[in-house]
Amino acid sequence: MKKNPCGLLYCALIAAMLLTACLKPGGAIVVPGQPTTRITLLKEVDPLYADSFRLYYNSQGNPTRIIPTMVATGRSMWLFRYDNQQRLNARIGSYLSLSTFEMAYRYVHDATGRIIRDTAFAFGTFDTTATPVGISGQQLRTTTYQYDSLNRIVHTVTTDLTVHPPTFRTTVDYSYNSSGNAWKIQSILEEITSMGIPTDTTITYPVYDNKTNFHRLHPLWQFIDRDYSRNNSGSVSSYNSNGLPTELPAPTGVLGIFFHHTIIRYQ
């Protein structure tokens, strides 16, 4: 068993299969003096990977696009598609053609609007004229989700759908303290194709600041990064006047995108 104190969990695009969230339960926070504060720009400042991602929203305040400066392999534009109840039914990492994708996710909701299951796809095509969005590609894995009474994710089970072994199942449990932060995150990786690969358990104890977690600006951001905590974990080197982080100097995943050194802008 490995115990690793750390900040935000790495959110590698493929390995973590970061998906999206229920938009109804919980709701976004209201920043004093700025009730409609939104993330509008993510910037990679490491000169080896320099890039910027602009964020766009619909009239209901829900994200519709995250667009990099240059769309390329590993740097796709992210499209968010909703049903007529403003529930997210697909998140698509698209190329410029707007018909092919690198990664895509399809969601199933419960009666309250929470995502309870998703399927991840790789390298395929999509059709936004269909309802729900048509997605055709290689199925990678499926994930189920359980929530607590505060609509925070407490348990996930991700099962590989790959044809060739080895195949794995990953179970993650989140434990929250009275401060509203996930003080313990336990991940168990099991090989389920009888090839004799030993089970690996990792326990993470995040360290937090005392400022507002930027993920709380929208339930979608909480779900994508699996971060329902009240405060920010990991390294934050600067904040704005509302106490929201503006610079994350350490490698981490932000809104499902991996950054080495992140600048965050709000509006």
Which is nearest to 45 in space by CA: 244, 238, 209, 206? 238
The count of structural domains within the chain is: 1
In a domain, 189, yes or no: yes
Q: What is the CATH number of the domain that holds 180?
A: 2.40.128.720
- The reported pLDDT for the residue numbered 29 is 56
Residue 98 has pLDDT above 90, yes or no: no
- The reported pLDDT for the residue numbered 2 is 44
Mean pLDDT over the full length of the chain: 88
In a domain, 19, yes or no: no
The string of pLDDT tens digits covering residues 203-243 is 999 999 999 999 999 999 999 999 999 999 999 999 999 99
Residue 75 has pLDDT above 50, yes or no: yes
- The reported pLDDT for the residue numbered 4 is 46
In a domain, 22, yes or no: no
In a domain, 2, yes or no: no
Residue 144 has pLDDT above 70, yes or no: yes
pTM given for the model: 0.87
Which is nearest to 6 in space by CA: 243, 239, 183? 183
Residue 86 is part of which domain span?
33-266
For residues 243-264, give the mean pLDDT: 97
Q: Output the 3-class SS for the chain.
A: CEEEEECCCCCCCCCCCCCCCCCCCCCCCCECCECCCCEEEEEECCCCCCEEEEEEECCCCCEEEEEECCCECCECEEEEEECCCCCEEEEEEECCCCCEEEEEEEEEECCCCCEEEEEEEEEEEEECCCCCCEEEEEEEEEEEEEECCCCCEEEEEEEECCCCCCCEEEEEEEEECCCCCEEEEEEEEEECCCCCCCCEEEEEEECECCCCCHHHHCHHHHHHCCCCCCCCECCCCEECCCCCEEEECCCEEECCEEECCEEEEEC
In a domain, 83, yes or no: yes
